Structure 1
Amino acid sequence: MAATSKAQPDIPAIETLDLSRSYGQLLAVDKLNLNIRKGELFALLGPNGAGKSTTINMLCCLLKPTSGTARVMGFDINTQGYQVKSIIGSSPQETAISDHLTPVENLGLFGKLNHIDPAKLKEWIPRFLEIMGLEDRAKSQVHTFSGGMKRRLSIMMALIHNPDVVFLDEPTLGLDPQVRHAMWEYIESLKGKKTILLTTHYMEEADHLADRIGIMDQGRIVALGTPVELKQSLIKEPTMRVQAFNISQRMVADLKNFYPKVEFSGGTLSISAEHLEFNEIVNRLQNAGATIRSAQIKDPSLEDVYLKLTGKELRE
C-alpha cells in the first residue's frame, strides 16, 4: 500500500527549527532553519563536510539531533519517527542494495518491507525498470552493475512505495556526464509530483534542477533563493573576459582609470563593473596595440556566488 500523509495541506513539506548536530567539539549542523514547500525541488549545495548528509540523516530519523527539531509533512522527527519514515523515500550515498540479488528481487524485497500489495509490486517493478533503462538487466545480479546503474536502482527503491517526500543524497556522485544528464531528466520528471530534497556539490546540477537552493557552509545556510535570485542579488557586477596578445601593464593601468576592478593573468584580462562598455573596452585595447582573440561578458554563476560568500571555491 502506498504511503500517504494525513498532514494539513497548508503546512510545509519540510520545516527545520534550529536543527543542530554536533560530534564532540565539531558542530556539523548549526541551528538550521529551512521551510520547503510541497512539490518543491530544493537543493542543498556545499562541499564535503558542509553538513548536507548529516541534515538528511536527521530528517530521515537515522540520526538524532543534538538540539532543535524538524517536521516532515507535519510529523516531528524527534517524537513521530514512525510516521515520518512511512511517508519518505531516501537514496543515500551508501546504498542499501543487496549485491547478490537482482534488481527485481531488491525492489520486491523493499516493497514487501514497506507493505506494498504484491499485485501492485508486480505491476510497478517492470515500469520502474523501464523508466530507469534497466529492463535488460532485470535478472542480473547487482554486483555486475556499474556505479551509475546502482544509483538508478537506489532511486527506484526510494520511490517504489510512492512517498510524499524524497531525499536524494548526491544522486549523481561519481557518474559520467552522459549518465548524470539522464539522471537529471528523470529527477526533473518528478518535480511538482514529489517534494525532493537533493544534496549536491555540483554547481551545474543545482542550477539545472532546483526550484530553490540553500548554499551550506560549515553547518549553516549562508544563502537561500532561486538560482536566478542568488546570481542576481549577490553578484551585482558582471565580468568581461578578454583573451589577447600584447597586453601591457600600461594598458591595464589605463583601464583601471575607468574600471577599478581589472586583473590580468595568463593572457586573460578580467574587468568587473556595474556598467561595462563592451565596444569601448575592445576599441581602447586595440588602439593601444593589443591583438584580441576573444571577448565576452560572463554572466554571474553559482560558482561566483559561492566564492563571494565563503571565500573559497567549491571543488569536486
Structure 2
Amino acid sequence: MEIVPGFSLYRGLYEFGQYASSGTATETSGMKWTNMSDPVNGMRTVLIIMVAEWAILLPLAFCLDQVSSLSGGLRKRLLTFLKCFKKRAVSSRRHSFGRIGSKVILEMENLDATQEREVVEQLLLQPNANHAIICDNIKKVYHGKDGNPDKLAVRGLSLALPKGQCFGMLGPNGAGKTSFISMMIGLIPPTSGTAYVHGMDIRTDMNDIYTTMGVCPQHDLLWETLTGREHLLFYGRLKNLKGAALLKATDDSLKSVNLFLGGVGNKQVGKYSGGMKRRLSVAISLIGDPKVVFMDEPSTGLDPASRNNLWSVVKEAKKNRAIILTTHSMEEAEVLCDRLGIFVGGGFQCIGNPKELKGRYGGTYVFTMTTSSEHEQEVEQLVRRLSPSANRIYHISGTQKFELPKQEVKIADVFHEVENAKSRFSIHAWGLADTTLEDVFIKVANGAQAFNENA
C-alpha cells in the first residue's frame, strides 16, 4: 500500500507520532537519526519509497499537465505521432465520405454548407497558401450530466477563409458561435474534426498558432489596475515587439481606437467606461500584426460615433489578414463582412455575401400604406392590381403591409397607382422598402428553428 503516495506519507507521520508520544516521559523524545536503523519503525523503507515516488511521479505529473493544458488532451501525442499519415488518412476519409456518408450529409446540409465542405476537401488534398483558416468538419458536443441529454453546439462545420477577407457569423443567442470561436482559439478542444490556421493544426500546434493570432473576446478580459497603454505594451511584448517598434505600435493602437488624446491611455482601466474597454479589447486583438483575428461581438456597448470609428479600424485591418467576426448588428455585418454565414442550431443555414443573401432570400418589396379604416378594401385592391400574388403580412387600424414579389412589380407602376389613388381617397402615409439583411436573418433563423423543432 505504500506505493500509493498518501499511504507512505501517512506511515511516516505515524512513526514520528509514535516516537514522540513514547518519549515524553523520558529525557529523549521524538525520532533521532540513529533510530532510522531500527527495524521496528521501517522509516528507512518509507523514505526510500517516497524518494522513488518523487522521482517518478513528479515528471509524470508535469508531462500530463502540459498535455492536458493544450486543446486535445491526451490525443495530442497520438495526433503528433500519426501526423506523417495525415495526407493518406485525409484522402481515404474523403473517398469513404463519397461512398458511404455523402447521402446522410447531403440530407442534413443545405447547398451552401455542402459547397463549402467540397471547397475544404479540395484544399486539404491540394493545400493553398492563400487560405488562412480551414475548418474541417469541426464538431463540439457538451456531454450532459445528472441525466441531462448531450448538447450538440457545433454540427460538423466546414469553412475556408482566404487572406484579406472578413467573414461574419450571424445567429441567435445560443446558436453555437462562441463555442466555435472558443475551439478556434484553444479554450476548448473540438469533439471531432479539426481546423488549420496557416497550415497549423489547432489540436497539436496551438502554441505556434498563438504567435499569429489576435482575439477580441465577447467579454473584456482586462486588469483594472493597469492602464490602457500598459495593456498594449504587455500584449505587444507577447507578439515579439521590442524597443521603438513596440512603442510605435502602442501609440498607433491607442490612436486608432480614440484612446490617445487627453491622456486616456495612461488612465487605469478600472476608470474606463464599457465602450472604452471594448475599444481597448479591439486594439489588443490587432497589435503585433496578427495574421488571423477572431472578434466576438466587438462593437457591443459602443455609441454610434465610436462604432463607426471601430468599423474603419477593422476595414483597414482586414486588408492583409483574415478576420472572423460574430455580431448581432446587421448594419455592422453589411459594412465589414465580405461573406456572411447565418448560423442556427450549430450549423450554417446559408453562406454568401450580403447582396447575394438579400437577393436569394429577400426577393420581395415591402409596401406599406396607412389610410382610414373604410378604405382598407380599396388599398388591398390596389395592391392586387400591382401584384396578384402579394401577401399581406401586417394589418392594424388602417395600416397595412404587403410583400410584393420583385418579378411582378415595377417601382414606377407603384408610384403611378399611388398617385391615382390619392385622387380617390385620403392616404395618410405610404412607403416601399427593399428587403433588408435583418429580414433575411429573421426569415432564415425562424425557418431553421421550425425545421429543427419538427425534426
**How high is the TM-score relative to the length of structure 2?**
0.63
Asked if residue 138 in structure 1 is aligned to residue 265 in structure 2, the reply is: yes
User: Aligned partners of 1:164, 1:264: CA distance in 2, in Å?
Assistant: 47
Given residue 309 of structure 1, which amino acid in structure 2 is its aligned partner? Answer: V
- Give the superposition deviation at 1:256: 4.3
Unaligned stretches of 5+ residues in structure 2: 1-126, 144-149, 449-455
3-state SS of paired residue (1:79): coil
Q: Can you list the C-alpha shifts for 1:125-182, whole angstroms capped at 9, x where unaligned? A: 1222122211121221000001111111111111222110111110011222222222
Using a 3 Å threshold, how does the CA distance of structure 1 residues 242 and 259 change in structure 2: closer, same or farther? farther
Asked if residue 273 in structure 1 is aligned to residue 420 in structure 2, the reply is: no
Q: Aligned match of 1:50 in 169, 175, 186?
A: 175
User: Aligned partners of 1:37, 1:179: CA distance in 2, in Å?
Assistant: 28
Richer in strand (by share)? 1
- Give the superposition deviation at 1:264: 4.4
Asked if residue 12 in structure 1 is aligned to residue 147 in structure 2, the reply is: no
Given residue 358 of structure 2, which amino acid in structure 1 is its aligned partner? Answer: K
User: Aligned partners of 2:393, 2:221: CA distance in 1, in Å?
Assistant: 50
Asked if residue 295 in structure 1 is aligned to residue 430 in structure 2, the reply is: yes
User: Aligned partners of 1:124, 1:249: CA distance in 2, in Å?
Assistant: 63
Asked if residue 38 in structure 1 is aligned to residue 169 in structure 2, the reply is: no
* 2:333 alignment partner in structure 1: 206
Aligned sequence identity (%) = 34
3-state SS of paired residue (2:298): coil
3-state SS of paired residue (2:233): helix
Using a 3 Å threshold, how does the CA distance of structure 1 residues 261 and 106 change in structure 2: closer, same or farther? same
- Give matches, 1:222-301, under 5 Å: 222-246=349-373, 248-251=375-378, 254=381, 255-256=383-384, 258-266=388-396, 267-274=398-405, 275-276=408-409, 277-283=413-419, 285-286=421-422, 289=425, 291-301=426-436
Given residue 285 of structure 2, which amino acid in structure 1 is its aligned partner? Answer: A
CA contact (8 A) 1:166 1:196 kept: yes
- Give the superposition deviation at 1:283: 4.8
- Give the superposition deviation at 1:11: 4.2
Using a 3 Å threshold, how does the CA distance of structure 1 residues 160 and 235 change in structure 2: closer, same or farther? same
Question: For structure 1, which segment, 292-301 or 211-220, has the greater mean C-alpha deviation from structure 2 after superposition?
Answer: 292-301
User: Aligned partners of 1:310, 1:155: CA distance in 2, in Å?
Assistant: 28
CA contact (8 A) 2:249 2:288 kept: no
- Give matches, 1:21-170, under 5 Å: 21-24=140-143, 25-135=150-260, 136-170=263-297
CA contact (8 A) 2:172 2:445 kept: no
3-state SS of paired residue (1:78): coil
- Give the superposition deviation at 1:18: 1.2
3-state SS of paired residue (1:107): helix
Q: Can you list the C-alpha shifts for 1:195-252, whole angstroms capped at 9, x where unaligned? A: 1111101111111211111111111111110010100112222222223334544335
User: Aligned partners of 2:138, 2:421: CA distance in 1, in Å?
Assistant: 54
3-state SS of paired residue (1:229): helix
CA contact (8 A) 1:251 1:288 kept: no
User: Aligned partners of 2:380, 2:253: CA distance in 1, in Å?
Assistant: 61
Question: For structure 1, which segment, 258-267 or 88-97, has the greater mean C-alpha deviation from structure 2 after superposition?
Answer: 258-267
User: Aligned partners of 1:199, 1:54: CA distance in 2, in Å?
Assistant: 12
Which of the two has higher C-alpha Rg? 2
User: Aligned partners of 1:111, 1:279: CA distance in 2, in Å?
Assistant: 58
Richer in helix (by share)? 2
- Give the superposition deviation at 1:293: 2.9
User: Aligned partners of 2:199, 2:158: CA distance in 1, in Å?
Assistant: 15
3-state SS of paired residue (1:311): helix
User: Aligned partners of 1:37, 1:221: CA distance in 2, in Å?
Assistant: 18
CA contact (8 A) 2:368 2:401 kept: yes
User: Aligned partners of 1:256, 1:110: CA distance in 2, in Å?
Assistant: 62
CA contact (8 A) 1:244 1:292 kept: yes
User: Aligned partners of 1:79, 1:229: CA distance in 2, in Å?
Assistant: 37
Given residue 415 of structure 2, which amino acid in structure 1 is its aligned partner? Answer: N
* 2:121 alignment partner in structure 1: none
- Give the superposition deviation at 1:190: 1.5
RMSD: 2.2
Given residue 22 of structure 1, which amino acid in structure 2 is its aligned partner? Answer: V
* 2:314 alignment partner in structure 1: 187
Unaligned stretches of 5+ residues in structure 1: 1-7
Question: For structure 1, which segment, 96-105 or 292-301, has the greater mean C-alpha deviation from structure 2 after superposition?
Answer: 292-301
- Give the superposition deviation at 1:268: 2.7
